[in-house]
Chains A and B, each alone.
Chain A
Amino acid sequence: MTENNIVLEGKNLTKQFPGVLANDNVNFDLRKGEIHALLGENGAGKSTLMNLLYGLYHPDKGEVMVNGNPATINSPNDAIALGIGMVHQHFMLIPVFTVAENVMLGDETTKRGALDRNTVAQKINQISSQYGLSVDPNALVGDLPVGVQQRIEIIKALYREARILILDEPTAVLTPQEAEDLFRIMRDLTARGVSIIFITHKLKEVLAVADRITVMRAGRVINTVNPSETNSALLANMMVGRQVILTVNKQDRKPEEEILRVENFCVQDQRKLDVLHDVSFTVRSGEILGIAGVQGNGQTELSEALTGLRHPSSGKVLIDGVDVTGKTPRALTKAGLAHIPEDRQRHGLVLNYTVADNMALCDYYRPPFSRRGVIQQKALDDNSRKLIASFDVRTPSPFVNAGKLSGGNQQKVIVARELSRENVKLVIANQPTRGLDVGSIEYIHGEIIKMRDRGVAVLLISAELDEIMALSDRIAVMYRGKIVAIVDAKQPTREQLGLWMAGAHAETA
């Protein structure tokens, strides 16, 4: 039985990309009915490995075995035919289609040339009851919460008779409670003989749900362990390759005068629908206010409207007592705002500009960077050398394009530029560590705390509840465009925050 129950195996897989050995002689196997977690940092090679198993890439060396037989997987269609299904982190669903239509998409059941929704709906109901995945086949996908949409993705794979599921960062968009639900579903599935590869970078989840854990680092498999033989600290060490401090060191600090005041703030989207209703809060000097919430509950709109990228429809914003409602990004920068934007490649950087130019992106127009309308390239270069040294940006030179740097170093370029400005009174950081390696996360957390300790007011927006809990002095929870609670950070438990994130305080919808 020992050999036969391996359903999917990668043997000595090697994949070379220009300049990167993304997978170096990787061995990975999945047993029937287990949850095998694949843990690793951004860039460790997890996605490459999955893409090799799923037929999106072809290995340079090594082979893939399915149920003990060598398999040639040249496309996702081959993978599906072999019973491998993948649930991507970003759902591949069409919001204006019903559940049934989405499930059959690409594999449509027809009756005399017309779509046969009834048969599909029946099959979906059958899968739902069999695996405990309740869902209404006739509901429009766009109306369903994210957790349910994820269920549809799983159903889609099961509908195609997948016996092996690859879940790529499935909990990133879920509340803690929704994640618990997902884990229950995962266990139900494995009990019925489905095998699951669970890709994540969250240590707690791995320990909670996995039967085996494989840790990858820099394109290699470091080790495969059982959860009972390990703990968070050991896993983190394996992931990073050195001792990691999992908690953030932070002294108590008494907040001082009020820096940011937001009053009855409302924002509408393009369709004139409220995406932010009546939000009010304050942030004081020397204080970090963390905004928790599941992604897509108005955090993006809040940070964009506060930083001048979007117009509020009503309400007021004051920085240090001055009304700055609806002011331009430049006016806000002059008023003392430093903004670490949510999407660093879209807003924070010009990827085709050098590191040096990017480090002056917001200040290029004023001395010493510009005199009488002419850019002073030497001043830009000197500035960037100084910042590269003091913020430990790993770049071959200041004249490399920002797009060539790793995500962590790109983020450091932004952090260096924003936090080094001399007049900073308020930092708005939205998802400052998303997708970064542990080392960069530690560093950026340290810099944020340093700013707070220097008496700067910090508004931290993050979908990572752990990050919010580790850094914040006070926590506000957003749900459907409203702030449903603001509390002292020491007060609530993780579970309480999770309930608020799911709208427990909000109107019963």
Chain B
Amino acid sequence: MQSEKRSNSLARQILQSVMDASLVPFLAILTAVIFGGIIIKIVGGDPILSYRGLIEGSFGSTKALSETAVWATPYIFAGLAVALAFKGGLFNIGAEGQLAVGAVVSSLIGYALPEWLGYDIPAIIHLPLAILFGVLMGGVWAGIVGALKAYTGGHEVINTIMMNYIALNTTSFLLNGVMKDRSPTNVIARTPLIADSARIPPLFEGLRIHWGFIFALLVAFFIWWLLTKTTLGFQIRTVGLNPDAAKYAGINVKRIIILTMVLSGMLAGMAGTIEVTGLNYRHELGFSIGYGFDAIAIALLGKSHPLGVVLASFLFAAMRNGATRMQFLTQMPVDLISMIQAFILLFVAADAIIRYIYRIKSKGERVVLTRGWGG
């Protein structure tokens, strides 16, 4: 009886909370699309045709769908990275850098390991190694910031930004130097191609969508399980919601801060690794400009919930992917998409605007101006 009641009311509660949580993001997207349409109109374009191009380009064919999923894959990992950190009360702006170091290490293992060993390695060992080291490198990179936060109080926002500079410039140094592709025709900063044994196979012949996409969905589910069902997740959420209470409850807050950053960095590293092993088969300077930053928007839009992150990743992926088709059809520049994304983020972050436009009452908060023990 009791448990039935709970599951019943819980199902309703969950549905209610999903609707509450997704209402503002949904309206934010809608409003941003309307704003985008107005701008298209102002600059003399055709909003309907532009958006049709956008949708065709992202969902209109098997190939378009495949490409959207290809875009979504690193977005999901990087978005989860930022979302996990948010849950732990940390703002990881450094996904971009963690992603870069992950990609560097992963590609190094991918092309250089067989050379060092002097023989070919089976894919079943080589691929996991390439992924593992990329992921670990991302974890270490973010873990440094976590340790600085835990032991010196250094703010993670500043330190992840600084670590981004170090990561991106070190990457540039390596890709122009020791790791540069020495083939005679190459003039750009990129690594040699990784060995076949370090590549993630495609899902379907002839399409670029690869198993990394499925893996991303599995990892999203795993992160949800970790956060909501495990003792570690309980600790991360407690530290995120109330670090004082966490300390009182006997949680080692410093350890959890470091661990949260490491896990977040591992996910970001995964985003870089998956692009190297699943798509590009090498690391090239500038391939990812923006993934790590879009990830912040994705995590915000997805309300830091793994399912929300997956959906937001798809949205961003579809917009990026469909933009080319839109440009082809209507000569609307791809940059318009960045504007719409910025609008979405603006409306989600400053949700008071959306609540005002659509007259949504915010729930549960009551204004208390003077609060006393007896008053």
Contact = CB atoms under 8 A, between A and B. Distances in A.
B371 A47 contact: yes
Nearest to A54: B370
A374 B231 contact: yes
B10 A18 contact: no
Interface string B202-226: 0000000000000000000000000
B contact residues, range: 35 or more
Contact of A352 (B6, B10, B241, B366): B241
A172 B366 contact: no
A40 B374 CA distance: 8
A395 to B, nearest CB: 14
Interface string B20-58: 000000000000000000000000000000000000000
Interface residues of A, number: 57
Contacts of A481: none
Contacts of A375: 229-231, 233-234
Interface string B228-256: 01111110001001101111111110000
A473 interface: no
B186 interface: no
Contacts, number: 121
Contacts of A378: 3
Contacts of B367: 17
Interface in B133-181: none
Interface in B245-273: 245-252
A329 B230 contact: no
Contacts of A434: 373
A351 B369 contact: no
B9 interface: yes
Given A346-B244, A347-B248, A46 B230 contact: no
Of the listed residues A357, A374, A381, the one surrounded by the most CB atoms of chain B closer than 10 A to its CB is A374
A296 B20 CA distance: 43
Interface string A186-217: 00000000000001111000000000000000
Contacts of B247: 309, 329, 347
B370 A47 contact: yes
B372 interface: yes
A328 B370 CA distance: 35
Given A350-B238, A351-B242, A381-B6, A309 B248 contact: yes
B96 to A, nearest CB: 30
A357 B2 CA distance: 18
Contacts of B233: 375
Contacts of B364: 18, 403-404
Given A339-B248, A352-B241, A41 B374 contact: yes
B370 A88 contact: yes
A169 interface: yes
A131 interface: no
Interface of A: 17-18, 20, 40-42, 46-47, 50-51, 56-57, 88-90, 168-169, 172, 199-202, 307, 309, 328-330, 333, 339, 341, 346-353, 357, 361-362, 364-365, 370, 373-375, 377-378, 381, 385, 397, 399, 403-404, 434-435
What are the 6 tightest A-B residue pairs by CB atom distance, in nearest-first order?
A330-B250, A201-B374, A47-B375, A435-B373, A347-B248, A89-B372
